[in-house]
Amino acid sequence: MDIPILKSVIILFAIAVVVILISKRLRVPVIIGYLLTGMVAGPHGLGLVNNLHEIDMLAEIGIILLLFSIGIEFSLQKFIRMKAMVLGGGMIQVVLTVCLVFLVAGVAGSRNNEAWFIGMLLALSSTAIVIRVIQESGAIDSPRGRTSLSILIFQDLAIIPMILVLPILAGKSSGSLKEISVLIIKVISVTVVVIVGARKLVPLTLLKVARTQSNELFLLTVIVIAFAVAWLTSLVGLSLALGAFMAGLIISESEFSEHALGNILPFISVFTSFFFISVGMLLDLRFLMTNIGLVILVTTIVLMIKTLTGTIPVVMMGYPLRVALMTGITISQVGEFSFILSRMGVNEGILSAGNYQLFLSVSVLTMALTPMLANRAHYAADLVVKLPFPVWLKNGGRKEDIPYKDDEVSDHLIIIGYGINGRNVATAARKAGIRYRVLEMNPETVRVEASKGIPIAFGDATQEGVLKHAGIMRARVLVVTIAHPNGIRQITSLARRMNTGIHIIIRTRFIANIKPLFLLGANEVIPEEFETSIEIFVRVLIHYEVDQSKIDGMVSEIRANSYQFLRN
């Protein structure tokens, strides 16, 4: 018996395996691999798969599961902790992008409703690609990582109201007060159902299912909840995507959220791959090649606009220009949720066929460029901050670099970064009676800790003026606890040049950074993984009653030889 959809799935996955293997070698994002698979196999490529309707049905399941996973991963606690940057920075970035793109698209000849819609498409960035890139570079806990993540959280939430306004842009709703009121009532009703489900029904159901200790039953229950809520929201005239997100929110408030996400992740990966492949199948290579000049021009404009609209809100939230610009470059691509929105816009008749092809081409190109741009963002930022901008702009609205009251302190300790490691070093310094100064890039942390009397100041330690105000020429020890490898290298080199006699201690996550940091002037480099390994085997040796002096000797030898024993 011939099953056409099975043949198509086999062809698509076989091509995807080859394409993604090549993409991995070239360090191209997996999403690009899926898009390329669709381009190769689709009707505009080799024409190996032509039953687009069946593929689209699988893609719809992928959309539901993708929005469902976003709902599960949404942490109310994280939102509250980052609310200023999420609501402030994220909202400014989205609104600025939509308005600026609307103006540009209008000048280019787009209708008003289409121009607004294009602005919405380009306002969103790729959460999947950005998080992967900053994780691989070790910058997830850096100021750039935190600001990028905050804006991405707001963008992921912004897709819901964007979906809700599609009928108005399509002309199917007049946007009258009555229709808006009905829409608000529907959303409130669904929200009430979500709250009741999250507080009462779903946790109780999942608890009973979990007690059976059956992973199959638990997985089936989670899938039923996801699709049932999505289906119910569609019955009241709201989108399936909104319902899937709401279903995820219901489960996110239970103690089973992580287990649910872990069980359903393989399904999410499979079905979302169909979605991106289906998008790739719609991309017309002949359009791309015929209009390559236009595509490159629009891609450049999009990257410039999104870099600008990503930089401005971060500066407005009190971060230095350097961090803001790095954030803007990092989130300058078009996001995966834009594909979902664009398909809805095409179905609603908002986006023309030509502009849809242009959007697909530009989106793929911006995504492909993201790893290179994000990993080199600090070079561009360093060049920009050397330009004669006002001091207040370079320092996040502050007229001076760092407002220490006692600038003549000497023989002191300088701590870069006030995370867990920085706090512990500062606590030890206080108890030992050692005078210290802290430099931190999170404005909120600086405000809170300064109010407690901690000698902490806001400042970018990669800048010479900041280290100078912290008294680097008179300090005895410099401890760097931040997470960003590029920032660590810049600080080490600058500090050694400014004070040849200072003792520099660096904390790093990556083994590969040990030798380069020593060459830049660090006296001690402490890799977290190795120190954890040392602590583990010390406890093992103690349990086996090995002589303490022998253990101490082994540990001292390992550290003296720059962890060469463990590196081998």
Q: Please enumerate in sequence order all residues whose Cβ is within 8 A of that of 210, keeping only pairs 6 or more positions apart, or say none.
A: 218, 256, 259
The Cα 271–Cα 268 span in angstroms is 5
Contact 331, 366 (CB under 8 A): no
pLDDT score of 53? 73
Tokens of 186: 């529907």
CA distances from 183 to 71, 113, 168, 191 (A): 21, 20, 11, 12
The DSSP line for 260-306 is HHHHHHHHHHHHHHHHHHHHHHH--HHHHHHTHHHHHHHHHHHHHHH
Tokens of 102: 């609307």
- Tell me the domain boundaries of the chain: 4-382
Q: Is the pLDDT of residue 564 over 80?
A: no
Residue 253 CA neighbour count, 13 Å, CB half: 17
pLDDT score of 28? 78
The Cα 334–Cα 353 span in angstroms is 19
Q: Please enumerate in sequence order all residues whose Cβ is within 8 A of that of 563, keeping only pairs 6 or more positions apart, or say none.
A: 514, 527, 530
Q: Is the pLDDT of residue 110 over 60?
A: yes
| Among the listed residues 101, 557, 39, 31, the one whose alpha carbon sits nearest the alpha carbon of residue 273 | 31
* Banded pLDDT at 180 (limits 50, 70, 90): low
Percent of the chain with pLDDT over 90: 17
Q: Is the pLDDT of residue 284 over 90?
A: no
Which conformational region is residue 213 in: left (phi greater than 0), alpha (psi within -120 to 50 degrees), or beta?
Answer: left
Q: Is the pLDDT of residue 269 over 90?
A: no
Tokens of 334: 């078009």
Q: pLDDT of 466-489, one tens digit each? A: 888 888 999 999 999 887 788 888
Look at strands 413-416 and 456-458 and give their pairing. unpaired
Out of 178-187, 466-475, 550-559, give the one with best mean pLDDT: 466-475
Whole-prediction pTM value?
Answer: 0.73
Structural fold of domain 4-382: Na+/H+ antiporter like fold (1.20.1530)
Q: Is the pLDDT of residue 567 over 60?
A: no
* Banded pLDDT at 401 (limits 50, 70, 90): very low
Arithmetic mean of pLDDT, 303-309: 95
The Cα 169–Cα 117 span in angstroms is 8
| Among the listed residues 93, 528, 479, the one whose alpha carbon sits nearest the alpha carbon of residue 305 | 93
Task: Tell me if residue 416 falls in helix, strand or coil.
Answer: strand
Contact 427, 452 (CB under 8 A): no
Output the average pLDDT for the chain: 81
* Banded pLDDT at 415 (limits 50, 70, 90): very high
pLDDT score of 103? 94
Look at strands 436-440 and 456-458 and give their pairing. parallel
* Banded pLDDT at 248 (limits 50, 70, 90): confident
Arithmetic mean of pLDDT, 364-373: 86
pLDDT score of 122? 94
R_g over Cα of the chain: 27
Q: pLDDT of 14-68, one tens digit each? A: 888 888 888 888 877 788 888 888 888 888 778 888 777 777 777 778 777 777 8
Out of 134-143, 320-329, 506-515, give the one with best mean pLDDT: 320-329
Least confident segment among 7-11, 94-98, 136-140, 504-508: 136-140
* Banded pLDDT at 396 (limits 50, 70, 90): low
Arithmetic mean of pLDDT, 491-518: 87
- Phi, psi (deg, nearest 5) at residue 3: -120, 100
The Cα 250–Cα 68 span in angstroms is 10
The Cα 527–Cα 523 span in angstroms is 13
Which of the two residues, 132 and 362, has the higher pLDDT score?
A: 362
Strand locations in 22-84 (E): none
pLDDT score of 292? 92
Q: Please enumerate in sequence order all residues whose Cβ is within 8 A of that of 45, keeping only pairs 6 or more positions apart, or say none.
A: 38, 39, 281, 285
